[in-house]
Amino acid sequence: MQILLRKTGFDPRFSSMVLVLLMVWAALAALTEGTFLTPRNLYNLSIQTCVTGIMACGMVFLIVARQIDLSVGSLLAFTGMLIAYSQVQWFPPEANWGWLLSIALGVAAGVAVGAFQGWWVAYRQVPAFVVTLAGYLMYRGAAFLVADGQTIAPLHTNYQVLGGGLSGSIGVSWSSALGVLTCIAVVWHRWHVRRTSALYGAEQPPLWADVLRVVLQCGAIGAFVAVMNSDVGFDAQQNRVGKGIAVPVLIFITVVFVMSFIAERTRFGRYLFALGGNPEAALLSGIPTFRVMLYLFMLMGALAALAAMITTARLNSGANSMGQMAELYVIAAAVIGGTSLAGGVGSIAGCVVGALLIQSLDNGMVLMDVSSAKRQIFIGLVLIAAVWFDVVYNRRSTR
């Protein structure tokens, strides 16, 4: 089966993850008597996945480079509190630029914290596990100190758009147009890949396989847009209005696109995978490994701040309890998505499926009224199973 999938251009591991995701969705739909697959719940699921998914993209890069960050949940809380506090206390509430400056301040704080951690890991050779475990404690405490443990609210009206909802979605027309443009881009990309492969005489999958791939991708895009358009809200005149794609989902898609481009098309991406594959060889070949690690932690800090922005906008407040256990979900999403803990292997597309899977399990268990403690136990077991699968898969791949 693996040989057939490879010959037709499909990644066996990614295909198996998508299949598992569909099976989990079917099981959750049956256990919740269809509630899980309602447009309202899928709309909420898409927004919930954004926070985990954005940070999982950065975690993929770190794990590929044989590093880890256990402080992302606490960093989300710290930068989120900084954004909320500065927006409410420092900038005039009527100013339309205050919320923009607060976002810039939060991202700058995330980058600075990432640089601090990266410096200790890269230039002082302190293990990332120790540095970020200390950060887990420090940034949670810093989040409390920002407002002495108080919840900061309300936030600016324009800022709340970043959290989704009826006002934080682009509507049916724009969502449909975006879906059509994306399908056109998918078709053009596949045609461009085949044309380039033929130009250089490279081996390429059969035409029917590429047509099938395009049909599946466009079908998934169309189904996603249709579900988002099906979820309705009520405007000021109490009219039923389709929400369409939420703004945080668009932010997540942008992050996925940028991170995929960095991984596949830039020198930094090549350095990253070379560092994870063999650190000694990467250093001897002239790759600035210390600088790459420093940039990786700075990037992770910026992504944690973006996740904090979506979280605070969605809650319309900042609280120091935000992001608890987020590090577990982020690492689980990256590993379930096919990122090898041995380093050198991972993909952004895989982590998107991993984030969707881990958030679907959490969302489905909430619908089934499973307690928080039992959900944590189950997610932990899923993480162990994902790592075990990674070990078995790598062992069989090297035979």
**Domain residue spans of the chain:** 1-168+246-396
Say if residue 7's pLDDT is above 70.
no
Measuring CA to CA, which residue among 168, 312, 310, 183 is closest to residue 245? 168
Tell me what the mean pLDDT of segment 335-351 comes to.
87
Angle (CA) 248 249 252, round 5°: 90
Determine the pLDDT at residue 6: 67
Tell me what the mean pLDDT of segment 13-18 comes to.
83
Cα within 13 Å of Cα(356), Cβ side: 20
Q: What tokens were used for 165? A: 């909802």
Say if residue 254's pLDDT is above 70.
yes
The tens digit of pLDDT for each residue in 198-237 reads 888 887 888 888 899 899 999 999 999 999 999 887 777 7
- Percent of the chain residues past pLDDT 70, beyond the cut: 97
Tell me the pTM: 0.92
CATH 3.40.50 fits 1-168+246-396, yes or no: no
Q: Provide the mean pLDDT of the chain.
A: 89
Say if residue 80's pLDDT is above 80.
yes
Determine the pLDDT at residue 227: 92
Tell me what the mean pLDDT of segment 337-347 comes to.
85
Please say whether the beta carbons of 213 and 349 come within 8 A: no
Tell me what the mean pLDDT of segment 169-193 comes to.
92
Q: Tokens 């979506």 label which residue?
A: 310
Determine the pLDDT at residue 20: 87
Tell me what the mean pLDDT of segment 327-342 comes to.
87
Measured distance between the N- and C-terminal CA atoms of the chain, rounded to whole angstroms = 16
Burial 262-278, CB ≥16 within 10 A → b, else e: bbeeeeebebbbbbbbe
Q: What is the CA radius of gyration of the chain?
A: 21
Cα–Cα distance between 290 and 294 in angstroms, integer? 6
- Percent of the chain residues past pLDDT 90, beyond the cut: 55
Say if residue 358's pLDDT is above 70.
yes
Cα–Cα distance between 279 and 272 in angstroms, integer? 10
Instruction: State phi, psi for 241 to the nearest 5 degrees.
Output: -130, 130
Highest mean pLDDT among 82-96, 144-158, 218-232: 218-232
Say if residue 152's pLDDT is above 70.
yes
CB atoms < 10 A from the CB of 282, how many? 20
Determine the pLDDT at residue 84: 94
Q: Is 278 left (phi over 0), alpha (psi -120 to 50) or beta?
A: beta
pLDDT tier, 382 (very low <50, low <70, confident <90, very high otherwise): confident
Q: What tokens were used for 192? A: 């461009």
Cα–Cα distance between 259 and 137 in angstroms, integer? 28
Q: Tokens 């443990």 label which residue?
A: 149
Tell me what the mean pLDDT of segment 335-343 comes to.
85
